[in-house]
């Protein structure tokens, strides 16, 4: 079984919001209709987004770290939003594990958004239907695009390559290997939703230099170094021979 | 959670309708075994069922205001295998139909006695419909309560107390209405309903206070640490990613001050439980319809406050992601 998902590397994300804007750009131009933007230049701008980048401060000054945290639908393997939907508009695809909303069936009752602990679902205030990240399902299978571009818009936009896309059920895929080897984790594991999207933790790259690495006992330079030659008492070759 | 008035009115109005119908069913089954004098079909059961039906219709209308696309509401009956909301959407019209049939049968006098026991107990045709209606009523209470109780990460709701409270509070308000209604239409039953109203209201007080105590001692399973997966005791959100607000900031926060929250709790505890009971017993003592109806109205207003508090108190884990602009 395939389960497409994103792996987001928090070690690399710089919080530039490029994934947010490219997501909005791609999806607002999509076949399923625009994504609402009310008062985009006014006092209280509001609208529908599938992806947000948040910022957290970890620790207390002066020993603080800034964490930029992109958040979108996690395409849970056991999605709590799907069984509660009264119309069947919310569903999880068998073939690739993407959780989608059928905008033609949704009645806008908001129950699925109550049932998502991550707040990944946002109702579109104009179309009055629930919307969420589609993992760019209209893009990743589009054969009119070159194969390298058949990825979610956010993945392509990320300037630091913090977003990986692939099948987390294929144990040899790039995303699976990364999750395994770089300590990929899931959000709110306490609810048993088994999010397909994983996050890679912040990883400090430290140099460990031991003292004897600075003062190497077997320093080859020292081995080859010659001390000053001692003065010679006896007759030298020069003394005994005369030309 | 943000208390949505459509849902507050839906749950309280159908609660009254269901309780009123249960009161009629109780009255008729008592009189079937001759524990109570039988009542006029049209004046009491017919009109009473119509009143119950009107409350159910009122709740149904209120529910449509909650929907973004009400014209597609019929689709909501399709997922009854998994969704409690879908089950409610099915059971509510079934109950309304049964109450309607019950009202019509009483009104037109289609109430033949099917069976009479040696002791004089009569099984009437309407009682069979009423029994089906009673089953539908309890099924509807369970569906309505489970819509909230099944959401496991809304810990304030995820408890059998949610279903019990919906059932008892709805039934209590229906019985209080039945008491006021019987004062004019079936005076012999007024005390019977008054006593049952008191018993159910006191039972509801016990279970509602139990859920208040439970919720006061809840410890949230999710923290900002599990939300973003960073193990550090001090994590502060600095930006939620936007400044103008979104559905996430509007729908999931109650936007109520601490003072309002606290006062609402005492308001509903006062308006739902002691005050209506005082008015009810005064009304029965004085045989005064105004007092009896004011008991119902006071309790209903209290139930609106109770439902508001029920929603406002629930703390959705997604709020952890939206702590600061």
B53-83 pLDDT tens trace? 999 999 999 999 999 999 999 999 999 999 9
| Nearest partner of B212 among B172, B174, B264, B259, judged by Cα | B264
Instruction: Tell me whether residues B228 and A129 touch, CB distance under 8 A.
Output: no
Phi, psi of B229 (to 5 degrees): 75, 35
- Write out chain B residues lying below 8 Å of A55, CB-based: 237-239, 241
CB A82 within 8 A of CB A91: yes
Please report the beta strands in A105-229, taking only residues with DSSP state E, as ranges in sequence order: 122-123, 130-131, 163-167, 198-200
| Nearest partner of A66 among A104, A142, A10, judged by Cα | A10
- Report the DSSP beta bridge partners of residue A53: A70
Candidates B69, B236, B318; nearest CB to A57: B236
What is the secondary structure of B193-221 as a DSSP string?
Answer: HHHHHHHHHHHHHHHHHHHHHHHHT---S
Q: What is the pLDDT of residue A227?
A: 64
Candidates A55, A105, A128; nearest CB to B238: A55
Q: How far is it, in rounded angstroms, from Cα B198 to Cα B211?
A: 20
Considering chain A, what is the average pLDDT of its residues? 91
A36-51 pLDDT tens trace? 999 989 988 999 999 9
Residues in chain B, pLDDT under 70: none
Phi, psi of A166 (to 5 degrees): 175, -170
| Number of Cβ atoms within 10 Å of the Cβ of A1 | 10
Residue A217: pLDDT band (50, 70, 90) is low
The interface pTM score, or ipTM, of the predicted complex is 0.91
| Nearest partner of B176 among B310, B12, B8, judged by Cα | B12
Q: For residue A221, is pLDDT > 80?
A: no
Q: What is the pLDDT of residue B57?
A: 98
Q: Could you tell me which chain B residue has the CA closest to the CA of A124?
A: B247
Q: What is the pLDDT of residue B183?
A: 93
Q: For residue A226, is pLDDT > 80?
A: no
Q: How far is it, in rounded angstroms, from Cα B141 to Cα B13?
A: 12
Q: Which CATH class is domain B5-321?
A: mainly alpha
Q: Could you tell me which chain A residue has the CA closest to the CA of B252?
A: A114
Q: Could you tell me which chain B residue has the CA closest to the CA of A49?
A: B246
Q: How far is it, in rounded angstroms, from Cα B316 to Cα B193?
A: 39
Q: How far is it, in rounded angstroms, from Cα A212 to Cα A206?
A: 18
């Amino acid at each position: 079984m395939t389960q497409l998902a994103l792996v987001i590397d928090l070690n690399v994300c710089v919080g530039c919001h490029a994934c947010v804007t490219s997501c909005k750009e791609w999806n607002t131009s999509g076949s399923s209709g625009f994504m609402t933007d009310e008062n985009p230049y006014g006092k209280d701008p509001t609208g529908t987004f599938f992806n947000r980048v948040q910022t957290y401060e970890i620790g207390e000054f002066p020993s603080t770290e800034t964490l930029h945290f992109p958040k979108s639908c996690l395409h849970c393997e056991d999605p709590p939003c799907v069984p509660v939907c009264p119309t069947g508009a919310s569903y999880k695809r068998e073939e690739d594990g993407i959780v989608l909303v059928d905008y033609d069936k949704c009645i806008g009752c908001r129950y699925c958004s109550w049932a998502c602990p991550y707040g990944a679902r946002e109702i579109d205030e104009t179309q009055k239907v629930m919307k969420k990240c589609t993992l760019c399902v209209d893009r990743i299978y589009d054969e009119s695009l070159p194969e390298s571009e058949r990825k979610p818009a956010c993945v392509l936009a990320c300037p630091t390559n913090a977003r990986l896309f692939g099948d987390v059920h294929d144990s040899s895929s790039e995303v699976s290997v990364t999750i395994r080897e770089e300590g990929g984790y899931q959000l709110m594991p306490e609810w048993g939703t088994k999010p397909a999207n994983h996050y890679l933790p912040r990883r400090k790259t430290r140099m460990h230099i031991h003292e004897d690495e600075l003062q190497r006992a077997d320093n080859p330079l020292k081995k080859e170094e010659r001390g000053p030659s001692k003065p010679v008492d006896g007759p030298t070759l020069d003394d005994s021979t005369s030309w | 959670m943000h208390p949505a008035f459509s849902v507050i009115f839906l749950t309280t109005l159908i609660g009254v309708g269901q309780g009123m119908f249960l009161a009629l069913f109780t009255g008729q089954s008592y009189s079937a075994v001759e524990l109570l004098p039988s009542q006029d079909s049209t004046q009491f059961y017919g009109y009473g069922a119509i009143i119950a039906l009107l409350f159910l219709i009122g709740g149904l209308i209120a529910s449509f205001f909650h929907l973004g696309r009400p014209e597609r509401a019929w689709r909501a009956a399709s997922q009854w295998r998994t969704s409690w909301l879908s089950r409610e959407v099915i059971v509510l019209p079934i109950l309304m139909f049964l109450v309607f049939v019950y009202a019509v049968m009483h009104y037109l006098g289609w109430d033949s006695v099917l069976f009479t026991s040696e002791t004089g107990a009569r099984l009437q045709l309407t009682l069979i419909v009423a029994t089906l209606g009673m089953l539908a009523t309890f099924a509807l209470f369970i569906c309505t309560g489970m819509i909230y109780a099944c959401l496991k990460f809304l810990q304030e709701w995820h408890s059998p107390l949610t279903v019990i409270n919906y059932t008892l509070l709805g039934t209590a308000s229906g019985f209080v209405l039945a008491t006021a209604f019987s004062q004019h239409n079936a005076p012999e039953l007024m005390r019977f309903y008054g006593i049952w109203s008191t018993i159910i209201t006191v039972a509801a007080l016990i279970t509602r206070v139990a859920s208040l105590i439970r919720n006061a001692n809840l410890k949230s399973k999710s923290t900002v640490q599990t939300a973003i997966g960073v193990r550090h005791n001090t994590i502060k959100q600095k930006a939620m990613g936007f400044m103008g607000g979104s559905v996430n900031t509007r729908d999931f926060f109650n936007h109520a001050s601490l003072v309002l929250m606290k006062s609402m709790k005492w308001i509903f505890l006062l308006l739902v439980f002691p005050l209506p009971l005082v008015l009810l017993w005064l009304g029965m003592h004085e045989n005064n319809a105004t007092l009896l109806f004011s008991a119902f109205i006071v309790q209903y207003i209290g139930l609106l406050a109770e439902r508001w508090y029920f929603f406002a108190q629930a703390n959705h884990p997604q709020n952890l992601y939206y702590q600061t602009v």
